[in-house]
Amino acid sequence: MILNEREIRKQIVLEAAHQIMAAARTAPKGKGVDVIEICCITQPEIEKLAEEMRKVFNENGFHFFLRDADNIMQADALILIGTKELCQGLNCHRCGFDLCSDRTEGVPCAINTIDVGIAVGSACAKAADLRIDTRVMHSAGIAAMRLGMPCKGLNNTLAIPLSCSSKNPFFDRKKKEEEKPL
């Protein structure tokens, strides 16, 4: 049997995605409380996410949403990591309030946000170990939250597109032509 890497590249990325998600899951969590949600999407969900990113651009005019929407279409898979809202009750002041009980609705617990950052760091470290190309994308995370990916009601979702090619398609990106929002 001869296996040509070019023919099994998508399979290689999906196998790596499983390990990357495990690395995110096992990352340390504040107070040992796990509020992280992780999923991996492929086509056609990547296309749906890209379309939502274009809608966000039309609303806010930030061109990086357009650039990143085109960019994720080059991904073989995309990992989403977000957090459920759960106040950790530490009164740490990191959210901007003196007491957790003073937080206004919609202000996420900072410990949850830190947990997402640590999980994303672990995921990217594992991707680097596996030599899978990545880039952390805030823009795709915003669109994912709007679509309820990986599940409804998450805060602080970030996206990590994955690729296995001769050059990382998520860096050295061309700037999208200046366009006005529709």
Within 10 A of 154 (CB to CB), how many other CB atoms are there? 24
What is the percent of the chain where pLDDT is above 90? 75
CA nearest to 73, candidates 166, 180, 179, 159: 159
What fold, for 20-143? NADH Oxidase (3.40.109)
Q: DSSP assignment, residue 59?
A: H
Quote the distance between the C-alpha of residue 182 and its chain's center: 26
Q: What is the pLDDT of residue 105?
A: 85
Strands (E), the chain: 36-41, 77-83, 133-134, 155-163
Whole-model pTM: value is 0.90
pLDDT digits (tens, 9 = 90+) for 113-143: 999 999 999 999 999 999 999 999 999 999 9
How far is CA 124 from each of CA 67, 117, 136, 158, rounded to the nearest angstrom?
21, 11, 8, 12
